[in-house]
Amino acid sequence: MVNKRRGSRKRMYMKMVSSSLIRRASRLIIAVLAIAIGATILSGLVTIYYDIPEQLGREFRSYGANLIILPRGESKITREVMNSLRSLIGTGKIVGMTPYRYQTVKINEQPYIIAGTDLSQAEKNSPFWYIEGEWGNVMIGREIADTLNLRVGDTFTVQGVKYGEQAEASRQDLSAEENQRRDSARQNFARKFTVKGIVTTGGAEEGFIFADIDELDKLIGDTFRADVIECSIVADADELSALCSRIENEIPELQPRAVRRLTQSQDIVLGKLKALVLIVTVVVLIITMISVYTTMTAMVAERRREIALKKALGAENKLVISELLGEGVLLGLLGGTAGVFLGFEFAQRVSLNVFGRAINFQWSLIPVTIAVFIAITVLASIIPVHKVMEIHPAIVLKGE
Amino acid sequence: MSSKILELKNVSKIYGNLKALADINLSVNSGDWLSIMGPSGSGKTTMINIIGCMDTPSIGSVILDGVDISKESAANLTRIRRDKIGLIFQQFHLISYLTAVENVMVAQYYHSMPDEEEALEALAKVGLADRANHLPAQLSGGEQQRVCIARALINSPQILLGDEPTGNLDEYNEGIVVDIFRKLHDEGVTIIIVTHDPEVGDAAQRKIILEHGRVILQSKI
C-alpha cells in the first residue's frame, strides 16, 4: 500500500515535470538548445582533447623516425632481436620500423654505399622523401643519379665482396680484363639493377642506393644483419624515454636513442594545443552555466504565479524546488544527449579537416557528458530555483 | 449545534503607519456561509489572507479549529493551509500545462496522494466530467473557476475561502458558481467569500462589511 502511494506520488511528480516541459514546447526548445549547444561544443572538444595526442602524434610521425636503435658493441641486429623489439614496443604504437644494412659497393669502379632496407616500412617512416619515379627496389639518391647520369628506368651494375670474404684490390700491372675476371671470382658479387626511383631529401640520403634488405642479404651471401633500426613510434617524450629504458633493460643487445628534437617539438605543440582546448572547454562550460542560469531565472520569474499557487495549495519550498530541479535534470538529459552526438559530429569534422583522419566514437562519452550536463544544469539552477523561497503567495496571487 | 471553526480576537494588521485591519473580532461556526464585503482598500484581502494562513496578524489571535495560528511559522502555516483550507481565486490560477483533472490532482499531491478517480468525481460535482482532460486554455472562464472550486474541495477542507470568486465571470457563470456554493453550504461546507458583488454577497448566510480595516456592519441575511 505504501509503495502504491509512493508510486502514485512519483507518477504525479513525473507528470508535472514532463508536462511542464512538453506542453511549454517553445520554452523547452530554447532551453534545450542552449544546453545542447554547450554540450555539443564541450563533448566535441573533449573528444578532440583526448584524440589530439593520437592525431598529432601520428602527424608528427611524418617528420621521420623518433627512435634510433643501434646495436651494442661491434655486433649487428639480427631478425630475432628486431622481432623482440617489435613485440616490446607493440605493433599498435609503431608507425614504421625500418632496418638499415649498409654495404659498400662499386659502380664503375667507384665506391658507393647501398642501404638495404624494408622499403615499405621506409616509406611509412619517411613520407617526406620526394621520389621521382616510384617507391621500389631499387632507388638511388639524387646525388648518385647526377654523378652517374642515371634516370628512372636506367640500369646500372653494382659489384662488391661477399660477406666475410676478402677483397682483392685491382692491380695496375694487370690488364683490365684480368682485373674484371678477378672481380667476378667466387668471393665477389655483381648485379644489374634498374632505377625505380630517385630520392630527393636535401639530406644525406641523396648519397645512398636503397635496395630491399632481403635481396641485399642474398646478394652478399649473408643472413639479416641490420646496422641500425629507425623507428617511428606514436609516443610523447616521456613515453619514449620510458620505452628506451625498457628496451635497454629487456634487450641488452640494443642501444636505443630518442630523437629529442622531434619529441620535444611534439610535446610543446601538444601541450599548447591541449591547454588551448582546456581553456576553451572551461570558457564554454562557464558560458553554458550562465546560459542555463539565465534560462532558469527567466523560468522562475515567468512562473511566479504558478509557484505561488503551488505554495498556496500547501506545497513546501523543498517540494517546489525539487520540481524545478527535476525540470533542470530533464533539460540537462535532453540537451546532454543531443550534445553527445552533435559533439561527435563536430569533432569528426574538425579531425577530418585538420588532421585528415576520422576519429572513433567514444561510447564512454555518452554517460559522462549526460551526467556532466545534468550536473551543470542542476548547479546553474540552484540560485534561480532558490528564489522560490522568496515568492509569497499572498502577494503574488492577490486579485485585481 | 454547530461548533466554532474560526475565531478572530482583536485582530489588527499594521503596515508602517497604515492599519489595514483594526481590532477585528469575528467568529464563524462550522457550516456557516459568510461573505466579506467592502470597498477597495477596506482590508478584505488582508483579512482573507490571515484566515487563509497566508499572512499573520500584527496584533490579536486567530483560532482555527481550536489552534491559535497567529504566531505560527511560515512552514506550519503552509501545513495548516494544506490540511484545513480550500482556496478559490478571482483569476482561477490553474496550471496552464496540466489538464483540468491534473490541476485537481495537484492539490491532492501536495496534501497526501493523487487519486484520479476522486479528482474526476470532484469535477463531476461541479459539472465538468466531460471537460476533465482539457487544458485551461481550452476552458471558458466559468469552467476554469469550477475546476478551481473542485481543486479547493478535493482535500475536504474545513473552510472554503474565496477571494472574489465571481469577479472575472459573466452573469451566467456567476449564477452557476453561486449555485455550487449554495449546494456546498447545504452539504455543510463552511464558506467564507470576499466579494464586491452584492448579489453574491447576499447569497451568503451572513455578511460583514469592512471599511478602513474595521467591521462597520455585521448581519444575518
B14 burial level (CB within 10 Å; 0-12, 13-18, 19+)? middle
C-alpha–C-alpha distance, residues B198 and B207, integer Å: 10
Q: Residue A185 is which amino acid?
A: A
- Report the residue of A2, A307, A309 to disrupt the B interface, i.e. the one with the largest count of B CBs within 10 Å: A309
**How would residue A323 be classed by pLDDT, with cut points 50, 70 and 90?**
very high
**Residues A274, A132: Cα–Cα separation, whole Å:** 38
The answer to whether B95 contacts A306, with C-beta atoms less than 8 Å apart, is yes
Report pLDDT for B115.
93
**CB < 8 Å to B75, chain A:** 316
What pLDDT score does A271 carry? 84
Is residue A211 within 8 Å of residue A114, measured between CB atoms? Answer: yes
Asked if pLDDT for residue A180 goes beyond 80, the answer is no
CA-CA-CA-CA dihedral for A353, A356, A362, A367, to nearest 10: -10
Tens-digit pLDDT profile for residues A53-71: 777 777 777 777 889 999 9
Instruction: Tell me if A246 sits within 8 A of A240, measured CB to CB.
Output: no
Q: How far is B115 from chain A (nearest CA, A)?
A: 8
Residue B154 pLDDT: 94
In this predicted structure, what is the pLDDT of residue B145? Answer: 93
User: Which residues are within 8 A (CB) of A110 and not within 5 positions of it... i.e. 6 or more apart?
Assistant: none
Cβ contact (<8 Å) for B107 and A5? no
pLDDT tops 60 at residue A357:
yes
Task: Test A309 with B95 for CB contact under 8 angstroms.
Answer: yes
A221 Cβ contact list (under 8 Å, min separation 6)? A162, A163, A164, A189
Is the whole model's pTM more than 0.90, yes or no? Answer: no
Antiparallel, parallel or unpaired: β B159-163 and B190-194:
parallel
Enumerate long-range contacts of B40-47, CB under 8 Å, 24 or more apart: B41/B212, B42/B210, B42/B211, B42/B212, B42/B213, B43/B13, B43/B210, B43/B212, B43/B213, B43/B214, B44/B194, B44/B210, B45/A398, B45/A399, B45/B163, B45/B194, B46/B13, B46/B20, B46/B21, B46/B213, B47/B11, B47/B21, B47/B194, B47/B210
Q: Per residue of chain B (221 residues), give pLDDT as tens.
A: 568 999 999 999 999 888 999 999 999 999 999 999 999 889 998 999 999 999 999 999 999 999 999 989 989 999 999 999 999 998 899 999 999 999 999 999 999 999 999 999 999 999 999 999 999 999 999 999 999 999 999 998 999 999 999 988 888 889 999 999 999 999 999 999 999 888 899 999 999 999 999 999 888 65
Using 50, 70 and 90 to split pLDDT, how confident is the model at A167? low
Q: Which residue of chain B is at minimal alpha-carbon distance from A8? A: B114
Q: How many CA atoms lie within 13 A of B161 on its CB side?
A: 23
The minimum CA-CA distance between B186 and chain A, rounded to whole Å, is 25
ipTM of the complex as predicted: 0.92
pLDDT above 50 (res A1)? no
| Grid cell listed for B205 | 448566510
Higher local confidence (pLDDT), B35 or A234:
B35
Compute the mean pLDDT over every residue in chain A, rounded to the nearest whole number.
86
Summary mean pLDDT of chain B: 92
Distance between A346 CA and the closest CA of chain B, angstroms:
35
Q: Which residues of A touch B98 (CB under 8 A)?
A: 15-16, 19
Mean pLDDT lowest for which of A72-81, A352-361, B94-103?
A352-361
DSSP string, A152-185: TT-EEEEEEEPTTPPP----TTS-HHHHHHHHTS
Residue A244 has pLDDT above 50, yes or no: yes
For residue range B91-108, list pLDDT tens digits in order.
899 999 999 999 999 999
Which residues of B fall within a CB distance of 8 Å from A399? 45, 89-91, 163-164, 167
Q: Torsion angle, CA of B170/B173/B176/B181, rounded to 10 degrees?
A: -70
In B, which residues are within 8 Å of A305 by CB distance?
A: 93
Closest CB to A316 among B49, B75, B109: B75
Looking up cell 451572513 gives B206
Work out the minimum CA distance from B109 to partner chain A, whole angstroms. Answer: 6
